[in-house]
Amino acid sequence: MYKILAINPGSTSTKIAIYHDDKEQFVKNIHHSNEELAKFKRISNQFSFRKEIILKELAHAGVDVKSFKAIVGRGGLIKPISSGVYEVNDAMVKDLTRVGVKEHASNLGALIAMDIANNIDNAKAYIADPVVVDELQEIARISGHVYFERISIFHALNHKAVGRAYAKKINKKYEDLNLIIAHMGGGVTVGAHKRGRVIDVNNGLDGDGPFSPERSGGLPTGSLVQLCYSGELTIEQMQKQLVGEGGFVSYLGTNSGLEVENRALDGDSEAMLIFEAMGYQTAKEIGAMSAVLKGDVDAIIITGGLAYSKHLTKFIEEHVSHISKVHVEPGEDEMSALALNGLAALKNEVETKVYS
Ligand SMILES: Nc1ncnc2c1ncn2[C@@H]1O[C@H](COP(=O)(O)OP(=O)(O)OP(=O)(O)O)[C@@H](O)[C@H]1O
Ligand SMILES: CCCC(=O)O
Q: What is the mean pLDDT of residues 336-342?
A: 96
Nearest CA to ligand 1 atom 23: 186
Report yes or no: 324 and 180 within 8 Å, Cβ to Cβ: yes
Q: What is the mean pLDDT of residues 253-278?
A: 97
Is any ligand 1 atom within 6 A of the Cβ of residue 13? yes
Reply yes or no on whether the pLDDT at 11 is more than 90. no
Question: Can you give the pLDDT at residue 287?
Answer: 98
Is any ligand 1 atom within 6 A of the Cβ of residue 279? no
Question: Can you give the pLDDT at residue 83?
Answer: 93
Reply yes or no on whether the pLDDT at 34 is more than 90. no
The predicted-structure confidence for 62-79, as pLDDT tens digits, reads as follows 999 999 999 999 999 999
Closest atom of ligand 2 to CA, residue 187: 5
Q: Which long-range contacts (CB under 8 A, 24 or more apart) does 351-354 make?
A: 351/84, 351/85, 352/85, 352/86, 352/87, 352/126, 353/81, 353/82, 353/84, 353/85, 353/86, 354/86, 354/87, 354/89
Closest atom of ligand 2 to CA, residue 185: 5
Mutate to test the pocket of ligand 1, among 46, 104, 258, 261 (most ligand atoms within 8 A of CB): 258
ipTM greater than 0.90: yes
Reply yes or no on whether the pLDDT at 143 is more than 90. yes
Closest atom of ligand 2 to CA, residue 188: 5
Report yes or no: 186 and 249 within 8 Å, Cβ to Cβ: no
Report yes or no: 343 and 21 within 8 Å, Cβ to Cβ: yes
Q: Which helix (H) or strand (E) holds 178?
A: strand 178-184
pLDDT-based confidence at residue 4 (cuts at 50, 70, 90): very high
Nearest CA to ligand 2 atom 6: 187
Phi and psi for 140 in degrees, rounded to 5?
A: -75, -15
The predicted-structure confidence for 223-238, as pLDDT tens digits, reads as follows 999 999 999 999 999 9
Q: Quick check: helix, strand or coil at residue 166?
A: helix
The predicted-structure confidence for 97-111, as pLDDT tens digits, reads as follows 998 888 889 999 999
Question: Can you give the pLDDT at residue 331?
Answer: 92
- Domains (range + CATH), the chain: 3-132+334-353 (3.30.420.40), 156-330 (3.30.420.40)
Is any ligand 2 atom within 6 A of the Cβ of residue 216? no
